[in-house]
Structure 1
Amino acid sequence: MASDPKTFVFSDVSVHNKTKDCWLIIDGKVYDVTPFMEDHPGGDEVLLAATGKDATDDFEDVGHSDDARDMMHKYYIGEVDKSTVPKKRTYVAPADRAYNPDKTQDFVVKILQFLVPLVILGLAFVVRSYTKEKSA
C-alpha cells in the first residue's frame, strides 16, 4: 500500500459502477477492480452489485480465501472518507449491468450453433419419412 494513500469521498467512488470502470469500498479502503472484472470467480455482476455502497458486508459474507484477500492489495487505490459514506444505500443500477451485449450475443450464437444442425437433421428425417411413405 502507498505510504500516503489518497482519500476519496463516497460520491467520487460511487460513479465508478461500470464493467470497464469499477471501484469498490471494503473496510474503508477503495479498490479499482476493473482489471479483475472478467476473472472474478463470481462473475462481474457480483462486483457491479457491490458498487455505490460500502461493500464490506458483501465481501465478508462470501467468505473469501486468504489468497483472495492477498490479491486485493494490487487493486488498492486509497481510502474513503467514512463520513461521506451513507448509512443506507440509495440503489443506483450500474449503467451497463442490465444488459451486457457481449455475453448475450455469445450465448445466442452458441445456442444457434447447437440448434440449427438439430433442426436441419429433424427436417431431413421428416422429409425422408415422407418420401418413403409416398414411394411405398
Structure 2
Amino acid sequence: MTLTQFTRDQVATHNRLEDAMIIIDNLVYNVTTFLEDHPGGPEVLLNNAGKDASQCFSDVGHSDDAKAWRQEFLVGEVVAAERREVKTPAPSWVGAEDTVTLASVVHVWGPPIVMAIASTLLYFYLFS
C-alpha cells in the first residue's frame, strides 16, 4: 500500500477543529473525527494539529492499544526529503545500574532504624 506523500507545510495547513492532522514518527494522521473521542480531550490534539507531535506522543507514554488504534487515522507520510530521525525511547530500566552505596543505604534505612530505636527506648522508659 502506497501512502499519500505530504510536506510538512501541507500538514501545517490542517490545524483547525474542522480539519486536523498531526505527524507522529513521519506518518501523517487525520485526527479530525477523533478529536471528541480523545481521552485527553480535543485540546491536546488541537494544540498539536498541523505539527509534528512525535515527542508529545512518546512523552505521554501511550498504551500499545493506543498505538494500534492510531493506524485507523493514518492518511499518509512525510515526503522523504523532510523526514526526521525516529527516536525510539529506551525503557527506563535499560542501562540502569544498581549500585549500593553507604549513602543510599542510610537514606533508605536510616529513618526506620532511628524510629525503631526511639520507639524501643520510649517503651522501656514508660513501661519499665
Give TM-score scaled by structure 2 length: 0.61
- The answer for the alignment partner of 1:31 in structure 2 is 29
The corresponding residue for 2:38 is 40
Q: Which residue of 1 aligns with 2:52?
A: 54
Runs ≥4 residues deviating over 6 A: none
Check the 8 A contact 2:26/2:83 in 1, yes or no.
no
Structure whose alpha-carbon radius of gyration is higher = 2
- Helix, strand or coil for the counterpart of 2:21? strand
Partner of 2:10: 12
Question: CA RMSD, aligned part only?
Answer: 1.6
SS at match of 1:41: coil
| Whole-angstrom CA distance in 2 between matches of 1:61 and 1:70 | 17
Supply the AA of the counterpart residue of 2:28.
V
Residue 82 of structure 1 and its aligned partner are, at CA, apart by 5.4
Partners of 1:41 and 1:64 in 2: CA distance: 11
Structure 1 stretch displaced more, 44-53 or 66-75? 44-53
The total of aligned residue pairs comes to 84
Give per-residue Cα distances to partners, 1:77-128, cap 9 Å, x unaligned. Answer: 0101253479xxxxxxxxxxxxxxxxxxxxxxxxxxxxxxxxxxxxxxxxxx
Q: Quick one: distance in 2 between partners of 1:19 and 1:56?
A: 20
Q: Percent identity?
A: 46
SS in 2 for 1:38: helix
Match of 1:103 in 2: none
> TM-score, normalised to structure 1's length?
0.58
